[in-house]
Amino acid sequence: MTETADVDSEGTLFQPFCFTSIWRQKTDIYLFLASPGIDEEIQQKIINEGLVQEYKTWKKNSPFLYDMILSTALEWPSLTTQWFPDIKQPPGEKYTIHRLLIGTHTSTGNDNYLQIANVHIPKNTIPNPEYYDESRGEIGGYDSNREQTTIKMNIEQKIDHPGEVNKARYQPQNINIIATMCNDGRVLIFDRTKHSSMPKGICNPQIELIGHTSEGFALSWNPLEAGRLATGSNDATVRLWDLNNITTTKSPKLKSSRIYEHHKSVVNDVQFQPSHASIIGTVSDDLTLQILDTRIKGTGSVLSNKEGHTDAINALAFNHSSEYLLATASHDKTIGLWDLRNLSSKIHSLEGHIDAVTSLSWHPTEIAILGSGSYDRRIIFWDLSRIGEEQLPDDLEDGPPELLFMHGGHTNHLSDFSWNYNEPWVVCSAAEDNLIQIWKVAEAIVGKDMNEVLVEELEQ
């Protein structure tokens, strides 16, 4: 990747596409701390100083890396985030209104909420570093009269929730129906239209799903059959639920329709295959990727791989366009690419993170683009169509050819991120630093037409 440089009025060096230089700084810090004999207090001081320098470098270069960005500090961090698929276009306004699903993760004794935010995104973004607002961390769009139109975010609805919101996802067939994973093992179903915009101090979900004996983070709605979802938790089980079996409307409680016990440890993620209502992928601390087929009786998996990663598998994601392609994210810092028809070995391994990879999501329209979030505080965009491309010696330091972009705006572990369905390349990311960041990578970096990639091409 070619890096260019400019110098500002203060003589400070700008490197417009220097996210890899930030990656090198962080790698150097980790290598140093891995040396024997480093005192724990000194280690923490080095880490803190390194974080400050990393963030300053990223912030200085952000006008060149993004077409727009909003960094908002929440009172409490959110462990979950998801863009709603709807969009409003107010007449005569220079922005569109999008909605965002988030939660809270508070300290002991503080109330928690399931939250929905309105986000104003400029219709036309013409980035200009000269108008970057450093104090607010924003880059906006500008009209012909230089009138600034920045991204804005405000909370539209707060719904009382019992304890931290580990994960929240809306039902694809009815986005007003939202499922949440609680920190006590319960799964709650809310109909947001039956709750006021402000909390009343009483948690009143529409349905309570009972069965898990400990908390979890694995939750997936069936994309093809309304009312059905799968969950997984620290109790090592995967449970299926069918809301169509509800027989009462007065605060009903529902038991799982099926229980799978095919994992030997914590279940970290479950995902329905987008084009097959009966196929579910699951991953676990037991280092396995397993595939369930709900059409088959029994509680075992029909496919599995037990040697794909050397540490816990934290997440998986099915490609929505290529039905056999899926990815797994692991504590071993790598991402595995798999062909569902042959799980005996990985197609390819993506290497670029320097800590555990915890979240995955495919781009909604670009079949070859995969996003990944990590404990290294980075989100990486991978372009699978670039796998195997030759690199010049100078480019090898930038990482593998498929590493397209690295977002470095957070100062603590990434919790979750989500692609916007209506605005290509707009992402919301949430981290343990209390920040919600809404950003669009610069068109100069990803503006070219992406090449489609099929499983067969990756196998070559």
Please state at what angle helix 19-33 crosses helix 40-65, rounded to 10 degrees: 170
- Three-state DSSP class for residue 142: strand
Which residues, in sequence order, are CB contacts of 117 under 8 Å at separation 6+? 99, 100, 102, 153, 154, 155, 156
With left for phi above 0 and alpha for psi between -120 and 50, is residue 434 left, alpha or beta?
left
Is the four-CA dihedral 411, 417, 420, 423 of positive or negative sign? positive
439, 432 Cβ separation under 8 angstroms: no
Radius of gyration for the chain, computed over Cα atoms and rounded to the nearest angstrom: 22
**Chunked mean pLDDT (size 10), the chain, 460 residues:** 36 36 45 48 57 83 90 95 97 94 91 97 66 53 45 95 98 98 96 96 95 98 98 98 84 92 98 97 98 92 94 98 97 98 96 97 97 97 95 81 95 96 95 94 79 60
412, 433 Cβ separation under 8 angstroms: yes
pLDDT given for residue 134 in this prediction:
57
Question: How confident is the model over 89-142, as pLDDT tens digits?
Answer: 999 998 999 999 999 999 878 999 999 999 999 987 555 555 555 555 555 443
Q: What is the DSSP string of 167-205?
A: EEEEETTEEEEEEEEETTS-EEEEEGGGS-SS--S----
The domain segmentation of the chain, as residue ranges, is: 30-123+148-446
Alpha-carbon gap, residue 212 to 194, rounded angstroms: 26
pLDDT given for residue 302 in this prediction:
92
∠ Cα 49 51 56 (to 5°):
100
Predicted TM-score of the model (pTM)? 0.85
pLDDT given for residue 40 in this prediction:
58
pLDDT given for residue 458 in this prediction:
65
Third-level CATH fold of 30-123+148-446: Methylamine Dehydrogenase; Chain H (2.130.10)
Tabulate helix, strand, coil % of the chain (nearest 5): 15, 40, 45
Question: How confident is the model over 182-204, as pLDDT tens digits?
Answer: 999 999 999 999 999 999 999 99
For residue 301, count other CB atoms closer than 10 A to its CB: 20
